[in-house]
Amino acid sequence: MTELIIEISRWAIPLVLFFIPLYGYLRGVPVYETFVAGAEDGFKVAVKIIPFLVGMLVAIGVFRASGAMDLFARLLNPVLHLIGVPGEVLPLAIMRPLSGGGALGIAAELIANYGPDSFIGRLASVMQGSTDTTFYVLTVYFGSVGVRRYRYALALGLLADISSLIAAIVICRLMFG
């Protein structure tokens, strides 16, 4: 059974990449021309969102370089200690809504320092997998379609991030703590 799953996994993407254009061709869609038009539109969107990405990356850089993230982490560390959350994961919790790459770097550092099977390593992994880069999503996706007023989306996205972090802590405490 395991060998069957491995073979299905090995061939799944190549088959999808073969059958989608084949299906389009059989339906009379000019596949290559449609692909080129889509790539052109994608390039236009990429160019359109560059200013939003640059602004977000500069803001993240300023947030980290100014020491604001470390100050925020130090302020929240006593509260987290009271509820049994290791303070080492706090920079990851702060960075995850801001930057996927920055959060991945912090998670990798935690796993390298404490080990993948430690509570901190497991909590970092669950936090990394259960939360999203809210500010990146708002910047890129809303910026690419021209949405300017996204106050409620930001509040709900951050609420979802906090809920996911709490769930990650509770689940890790139950399973590994």
Which residue did the predictor score with more confidence, 65 or 23?
23
Rounded CA-CA distance 161/167 in Å is 10
pLDDT band at 72 (very low <50, low <70, confident <90, very high): confident
Rounded CA-CA distance 136/20 in Å is 30
Q: 120: closest CA among 95, 93, 160, 157?
A: 93
Which pLDDT score is estimated for 30?
Answer: 95
Which pLDDT score is estimated for 64?
Answer: 79
Contact 62, 141 (CB under 8 A): no
Which pLDDT score is estimated for 16?
Answer: 94
* pTM of the full structure: 0.68
Digit-coded pLDDT (tens) for 87-136:
889 889 988 998 888 889 889 999 999 999 999 999 999 999 998 888 88
Rg (CA), the chain: 21
Digit-coded pLDDT (tens) for 41-56:
989 888 887 887 788 7
Rounded CA-CA distance 174/177 in Å is 6
